[in-house]
Amino acid sequence: MIAEAGHYALVLALALALIQSFVPLIGARLRDPALMNVARSTALAQLLFVGASFIALVTLHVSSDFSVANVYENSHSMKPLIYKITGVWGNHEGSMLLWVSILALFGGLVAAFGNNLPLSLRAHVLSVQAWIASAFYLFILITSNPFLRIANPPIEGRDLNPVLQDIGLAVHPPMLYLGYVGFSISFSFAIAALIEGRIDAAWARWVRPWTLVAWIFLTLGIAMGSYWAYYELGWGGWWFWDPVENASLMPWLAGTALLHSALVMEKRNALKVWTILLSILTFSLSLLGTFLVRSGVITSVHAFANDPTRGVFILLILCLFIGGSLSLFAGRATSLKQGGLFAPISREGALVLNNLLLTVACAVVLFGTLYPLAMEVLADFKMSVGAPFYNLTFVPLFALLLLAVPFGPMLAWKRGDLLGVTQRLLAAGVAGLVVVAIVWAWTRGGSALAPLAIGLGVFVIAGVVTDLVERTGLFRLPFATTLHRARGLPRSAWGTAFAHAGLGIALIGIVCETTWNSEYIATMKPNDVAQVAGYDLKLDGLLERQGPNYREMVAQFQVSKGGEPLSVMTPSKRSFTTRGASTTEAALLTRGASQLYISLGDVTAEGAIAVRIYHKPFVLLIWWGPVLMAFGGVLSLSDRRLRVGAPKPARAKQRLQPAE
Amino acid sequence: MTLWFVFALMTVAAIFAVLWPLGRGGRDQNQGSEVTVYKDQLVEIEHDLAAGLIARPEAEAARVEISRRLLAADSSESALAPTSNLKWRRAAAVLALVGLPLLAAAIYVPLGSPALRDFPLAQRERGSGPGMAQSLENLVAQVEQHLEKNPTDGRGWNVLAPVLERLGRFDEAVRAYRNSITYNGESAERRSDLGEAIAAAAGGVVTADAKTEFERAHALDADDPKANYFLGLAAEQDGRKDDAANIWRALLAKAPADAPWRPLVQASLARVGGGGTMPALSNETIAASKDMNEGDRNAMVRSMVERLATRLKQNGDDVDGWLRLVRAYLVMGDRDKARGASTDARQAVANDSERLRQLNEGLKNLGLDG
């Protein structure tokens, strides 16, 4: 009964979404509040039904009901409870159900907490939201139904792909989807604004929290996914530029641009049309990401051609939404009122530069992702675009962006003073150069660009500190006043500071890891000692252990530095009988921000084992950076105040700081 | 019946969600507006000014800007007075009352399987199916569940392993025996049981893994009958018939007169010690099997050939074995496989010129020298 009730709940959600797609629109046209309010209750009911459907699927997975095909194919009765639950979204059908559940969640949130929205805007937003939802409900029910049954249930399931039986999977997809789907709200707002033909600073104020929430989750989701790849895939790499990763990076880049341009719009009533376009593009890229990951087009264009129903369906959704929204934009954008003006050198100008760089970077990634696919389709020629391409294109763009980051928050609104800001950033620049010199003198090894890049990271962080010092008047004013000012500083200003500093920290981590990472690859016998980056790792021996649904071979390493024992590391290889597959469980030892990393290869006939040991200096900074960025986002989100960008009056000559 | 009741309840809830706002007629008008946002922004400027975050001229400029927007918003908003349209509200209500259930039914009926009840694992284990086999499976499932929670219970693994082996779930039996050894400690008996399970999983071939286990068992207890028997079998399968005969003869000499496995060993000894040719896969065997019914014969031949192929994959030195395999494929009419096997054979003995010569000669005799 649970299975069928869950199935029926999904069908009802579709029916409700269809009603929600049209009735409120008609209501908005007729200005009938009752019809417009239908959007609200149907959105909440939709959330209720999809939620019930999702909970039903989780229950089925937990109770190992193999009469449901999806459970049979992706679960096993011996699997630990947590992986029974995470296995729900560890497969195509379940993850799509999670996708729409999150979509319904956002719709429900707008319905429940959108009291500050004008009625017609809320009706329009929820209608657009329901269009997206309807398309995806249909997609799930027709091509990827998780509730299909098997009449004669088998006694045991086929288990989940072992690589996915990991705590990282429990967290990563929901986060990523919260990000992807969260941008649907700003998309819906953009479409609603185009339909209504009205857009202003108030619009930006209403969209801001939703964009921020999506951005926070997407940031964390990408970081989480990268960390998962790092420790689970056994190669110690944390970013591979593969299409699945790019699919999540593109909406992030566009979303970051959107976040900044929406800021300009809220504070200064400028860049309105551009913000609308970015909202559309960001969600389009999210949809594209979903298409790339879910259609099988990435594994091979040919695999996609073999079972095209799913892929073609998503492609159809993609064309419908992207094409439709862009045509609507093309038709209506000219009728939108243009906003405030500003000088090229001003906070607005800096944010335009930020947008420009981010969108170009995004376009580069898009090109790198789609070009190989296009080549495969058109020329039947398989190629991959990897790190060298991005190093030549994406990296310089981002370096330029980082160079500009400290200037932005220090420029005044409307008309800024570049020279003055440069003077004030002098200290930060000097700090960066000093670090460059120190690193250069210290290492002498590795790439010549590495010290420069680290200097850039330090410059970004020092720039943030300079900005904070300026605003609070530290060293200039009595300490008590500084404290008072710091407390009075809007939390969004602190958020900006943290997010920008996170960027610098991540950059330093990336550079250190790629330049000074040392590795040791060898076949080791028990009692052999490996020496990596000053650490001695002695292989004590190999032992076998039995897990719930796997057998694992564990290698035990004694780690010591300078003869002083530090810790024991136990990397292992797990083999899963049901799928006949094995996974590598790397062992990690954290020392400050650096990590030792051991992963196991195959056992040779003589009882020796292939071992890869890495020392990764400051590798954790790569993920602390995004976490800091997300924290900045949370701070900014918690700032419920309205944002006003006070313009710098044209004639006023006094040097005053810009307001946040 | 309950299922349909639940469906009906859910449908009613969905319809209610559409009807409720229509019935309330949009009485609550707590909605935001642009005007509110701009008014709040003006208040915000006063706050910032008071806190010393912005200076007076800037605050003044901002105030002017926002006031301008406020006026514009105010004039455009007053034009939008709410209206109510009964005709459309009725249409929406009808859509919810009729359209929604119809649509839901139209989608659900072809996709769903309302006749199927749930089959959670816990329920199936309580024994719903008929027959002894089913209940044995259930018992196994229960023990497995117990062991999932207490994986270090050696006694449990001890009980489970032979049952799994009898049920033909050899891979799991191997795992269970391994665990039994891990948690109960090593003994000759357990080692040879594990070896037997590995051999069974490999279709009766004493693989290198299995042989290692038997050798360990033999080292622990030189008189362990099972280890000795299988070591003999391994020798036989490797083509060392004399060794096999010696092992089995020694085993019989030490065996008590009433040992239940005596006949088995004697029969095996007769097979190799009688000096007769290896029966497996000779032309006669295949010819004799022609008397069997089609299915049995095929199954038998195929299993024998597979066993031989598996063994050769592990130990490729046996030229005779390779020739037997190629011949078997030829007899079965599978020329491609025969050719594949001869290629494998050449690769396997490529390092040994004497054997390679023998092999090539033999293949020529079989008419396969391409």
Terminal-to-terminal C-alpha distance of chain B: 71
The interface residues of chain B toward chain A in range 158-177, judged by CB-CB distance below 8 A, are 171-172, 175
The interface residues of chain B toward chain A in range 45-84, judged by CB-CB distance below 8 A, are 45, 47-48, 51-55, 57-62, 65-66, 69, 73, 76, 80-84
- How confident is the model at residue A138, as a pLDDT? 94
Look at B82 and A31 and tell me if their CB atoms are within 8 Å: yes
The interface residues of chain B toward chain A in range 244-273, judged by CB-CB distance below 8 A, are none
Residue among A14, A20, A23 with most chain B CBs within 10 A, to mutate: A23
Look at B69 and A201 and tell me if their CB atoms are within 8 Å: yes
Alpha-carbon distance A481 to nearest alpha carbon in chain B (angstroms): 11
Identify all chain B residues contacting A14, using CB atoms and an 8 Å cutoff.
Answer: 103-104, 107
Q: Compute the radius of gyration of chain B from its Cα atoms.
A: 40
| A325-374 confidence digits (pLDDT tens) | 999 999 888 777 766 778 788 888 889 999 999 999 999 999 998 888 88
- How confident is the model at residue A635, as a pLDDT? 92
Q: Is residue B48 part of a domain?
A: yes
* Residue position matching structure tokens 């609200």: A40
Look at A7 and B37 and tell me if their CB atoms are within 8 Å: no
Q: Domain range for residue B330? A: 283-365
Contact B182, B161 (CB under 8 A): no
Identify all chain A residues contacting B150, using CB atoms and an 8 Å cutoff.
Answer: none
Do B150 and B262 reside in the same domain of the chain?
A: yes
Look at A38 and B58 and tell me if their CB atoms are within 8 Å: no
Number of neighbours of residue B206 by Cβ within 10 angstroms: 25
SS (H, E, C) chain B: CHHHHHHHHHHHHHHHHHHHHHHHCCCCCCCCCHHHHHHHHHHHHHHHHHHCCCCHHHHHHHHHHHHHHHHHHHHHHCCCCCCCCHHHHHHHHHHHHHHHHHHHHHHHHHHCCCCCCCCCHHHHHCCCCCCHHHHHHHHHHHHHHHHHHCCCCHHHHHHHHHHHHHCCCHHHHHHHHHHHHHHHCCCHHHHHHHHHHHHHHCCCCCCHHHHHHHHHHHHHCCCCHHHHHHHHHHHHHCCCHHHHHHHHHHHHHHCCCCCCCHHHHHHHHHHHHCCCCCCCCCHHHHHHHHHCCHHHHHHHHHHHHHHHHHHHHHCCCCHHHHHHHHHHHHHCCCHHHHHHHHHHHHHHCCCCHHHHHHHHHHHHHCCCCC
DSSP conformational letter for A226: H
Kindly state the tokens that stand for A381: 């020629």
DSSP conformational letter for A417: -
Contact B157, B187 (CB under 8 A): no
Residue among B24, B63, B111 with most chain A CBs within 10 A, to mutate: B111
Residue A45 pLDDT > 80: yes
B8 in contact with A, Cβ within 8 Å: no
B113 in contact with A, Cβ within 8 Å: yes
Look at B31 and A12 and tell me if their CB atoms are within 8 Å: no
Identify all chain B residues contacting A36, using CB atoms and an 8 Å cutoff.
Answer: 26
Identify all chain A residues contacting B134, using CB atoms and an 8 Å cutoff.
Answer: none
Residue among B31, B63, B147 with most chain A CBs within 10 A, to mutate: B31
State how far the alpha carbon of B313 is from the alpha carbons of A281, A579, B303, B308, B310, in Å: 57, 23, 15, 9, 5
Do B248 and B344 reside in the same domain of the chain?
A: no
Look at B104 and A8 and tell me if their CB atoms are within 8 Å: yes
Residue A433 Cα to chain centre, angstroms: 32
Identify all chain A residues contacting B85, using CB atoms and an 8 Å cutoff.
Answer: 30, 32, 35
Look at A35 and B89 and tell me if their CB atoms are within 8 Å: yes
Q: Is A98 helix (H, G, I), strand (E, B) or coil?
A: helix
Kindly identify which residue of chain A lies nearest to residue B157, measuring between CA atoms. A546
Look at B25 and A35 and tell me if their CB atoms are within 8 Å: no
Kindly state the tokens that stand for B105: 């039914």
Identify all chain B residues contacting A153, using CB atoms and an 8 Å cutoff.
Answer: 119, 124
Q: Which of A9, A40, A551 sits opposite B175 (nearest CB)?
A: A551
Angle formed by the axes of helices A324-332 and A167-196, nearest 10°: 30
DSSP conformational letter for A134: H
Residues A272, A169: Cα–Cα separation, whole Å:
38
Q: What is the largest CA-CA distance in chain A?
A: 84
- How confident is the model at residue A659, as a pLDDT? 44
* Residue position matching structure tokens 């078997």: B328
Q: Kindly give, in sequence order, each residue whose CB lies less than 8 Å from that of residue B43, ignoring residues fewer than 6 positions away.
A: none
User: Among A645, A648, A642, which residue's Cα sits nearest to residue A202?
Assistant: A642
- How confident is the model at residue B225, as a pLDDT? 86
Alpha-carbon distance A441 to nearest alpha carbon in chain B (angstroms): 43
Q: Is residue B253 part of a domain?
A: yes
Do B177 and B195 reside in the same domain of the chain?
A: yes
Angle formed by the axes of helices A479-488 and A449-472, nearest 10°: 100
Identify all chain A residues contacting B144, using CB atoms and an 8 Å cutoff.
Answer: 78
* Residue position matching structure tokens 């006669």: B284
- How confident is the model at residue A643, as a pLDDT? 66
Q: Is residue B331 part of a domain?
A: yes
Q: Which of B248, B273, B298 is the last residue of a domain?
A: B273
Residue B344 is part of a domain; what is its CATH number? 1.25.40
Residues A423, A425: Cα–Cα separation, whole Å:
5
| B179-230 confidence digits (pLDDT tens) | 888 888 888 888 888 888 888 887 778 888 888 888 888 888 888 888 888 8
Residues B274, B270: Cα–Cα separation, whole Å:
5
User: Among A99, A110, A236, A202, which residue's Cα sits nearest to residue A521?
Assistant: A236
Do B61 and B167 reside in the same domain of the chain?
A: no
Kindly state the tokens that stand for A507: 């950059």
Residue A634 pLDDT > 90: yes
Look at A649 and B104 and tell me if their CB atoms are within 8 Å: no
Candidate from A258-272, A551-565, A636-650 with smallest mean pLDDT: A636-650
Q: Which of B7, B58, B122 sits opposite A646 (nearest CB)?
A: B58
| A132-158 confidence digits (pLDDT tens) | 999 999 999 998 899 999 887 777 777
A591 - beta bridge partners?
A594
Look at A14 and B107 and tell me if their CB atoms are within 8 Å: yes
Domain ranges of chain A: 1-165, 168-414, 425-516+622-638, 518-616
Do B175 and B245 reside in the same domain of the chain?
A: yes
SS (H, E, C) A18-53: HHHHHHHHHHHHHCCHHHHHHHHHHHHHHHHHHHHH
DSSP conformational letter for A445: -
Residue A478 φ then ψ, to 5°: -60, 150
Identify all chain A residues contacting B171, using CB atoms and an 8 Å cutoff.
Answer: 577
Kindly state the tokens that stand for A630: 């997300």
Do B156 and B259 reside in the same domain of the chain?
A: yes
Q: Which of A14, A38, A488 sits opposite B53 (nearest CB)?
A: A488
- How confident is the model at residue B288, as a pLDDT? 53
Look at A577 and B3 and tell me if their CB atoms are within 8 Å: no
DSSP conformational letter for A321: I
Number of domains in chain B: 3
Kindly state the tokens that stand for A436: 């460059």
Residue ranges in A380-490 assigned as alpha helix (H): 387-404, 407-410, 418-424, 426-443, 449-472, 479-488
Burial of B295 (0-12, 13-18, 19+ CB in 10 A): exposed
Do B190 and B241 reside in the same domain of the chain?
A: yes
Do B229 and B251 reside in the same domain of the chain?
A: yes
- How confident is the model at residue B135, as a pLDDT? 56
Q: Is A551 helix (H, G, I), strand (E, B) or coil?
A: strand
Identify all chain A residues contacting B161, using CB atoms and an 8 Å cutoff.
Answer: none
Alpha-carbon distance A436 to nearest alpha carbon in chain B (angstroms): 35
Look at A33 and B29 and tell me if their CB atoms are within 8 Å: yes
Residues B311, A591: Cα–Cα separation, whole Å:
50
Do B262 and B173 reside in the same domain of the chain?
A: yes
Residue A249 Cα to chain centre, angstroms: 7
Q: Kindly give, in sequence order, each residue whose CB lies less than 8 Å from that of residue A262, ignoring residues fewer than 6 positions away.
A: A186, A204, A207, A208, A211, A275
Look at B112 and A4 and tell me if their CB atoms are within 8 Å: yes
Number of neighbours of residue A119 by Cβ within 10 angstroms: 26
Residues A572, A329: Cα–Cα separation, whole Å:
54
| B87-109 confidence digits (pLDDT tens) | 888 899 999 999 999 999 999 99
Kindly state the tokens that stand for B298: 């095929």
Look at B107 and A18 and tell me if their CB atoms are within 8 Å: no
Kindly state the tokens that stand for A231: 């420790």
ipTM, 2 dp: 0.84
Do B107 and B210 reside in the same domain of the chain?
A: no
Q: How many residues does chain A have?
A: 660
Do B243 and B288 reside in the same domain of the chain?
A: no
Look at B11 and A12 and tell me if their CB atoms are within 8 Å: yes
User: Among A148, A151, A152, A11, which residue's Cα sits nearest to residue A91?
Assistant: A148
Identify all chain B residues contacting A31, using CB atoms and an 8 Å cutoff.
Answer: 80-83
Q: Is A118 helix (H, G, I), strand (E, B) or coil?
A: coil
From first to last of its 370 residues, what are the pLDDT tens digits of chain B?
Answer: 688 999 999 999 999 999 988 887 655 556 677 778 888 888 888 887 887 777 788 888 888 888 888 887 777 665 566 777 788 888 999 999 999 999 999 999 999 888 888 888 777 665 444 434 455 666 777 787 777 777 788 888 888 888 888 877 888 888 888 888 888 888 888 888 888 888 888 777 888 888 888 888 888 888 888 888 888 888 888 878 888 888 888 888 887 777 778 878 888 887 776 433 344 444 555 455 555 555 665 666 677 788 888 888 777 777 878 888 887 787 777 777 888 888 888 878 777 778 888 888 888 777 765 4
Question: How many contacts does A have with B, using Cβ atoms within 8 A?
Answer: 255
Residue A128 pLDDT > 60: yes
Look at A65 and B182 and tell me if their CB atoms are within 8 Å: no
Q: Which residue has the higher pLDDT, A287 or B313?
A: A287
Burial of A333 (0-12, 13-18, 19+ CB in 10 A): middle
The amino acid that residue B183 corresponds to is Y
Q: Which of B61, B116, B124 sits opposite A149 (nearest CB)?
A: B116
Do B265 and B289 reside in the same domain of the chain?
A: no
Residues B296, A80: Cα–Cα separation, whole Å:
42
DSSP conformational letter for A234: S
Q: Which of B273, B308, B332 is the last residue of a domain?
A: B273
Residues A468, A493: Cα–Cα separation, whole Å:
9
Alpha-carbon distance B32 to nearest alpha carbon in chain A (angstroms): 4
B129 in contact with A, Cβ within 8 Å: no
b/e sequence B232-262, b meaning 16+ C-beta within 10 Å: bbbbbbbbbbebbbbbbeebbeebeeeeeee
- Average pLDDT in chain A: 86
Candidate from A52-66, A523-537, B350-364 with smallest mean pLDDT: B350-364
Q: Is residue B125 part of a domain?
A: no
Residues A21, A42: Cα–Cα separation, whole Å:
10
The interface residues of chain B toward chain A in range 273-292, judged by CB-CB distance below 8 A, are none
Look at A544 and B52 and tell me if their CB atoms are within 8 Å: no
Look at A44 and B65 and tell me if their CB atoms are within 8 Å: no
Q: Which of B80, B99, B107 sits opposite A11 (nearest CB)?
A: B107
Residue B213 is part of a domain; what is its CATH number? 1.25.40.10
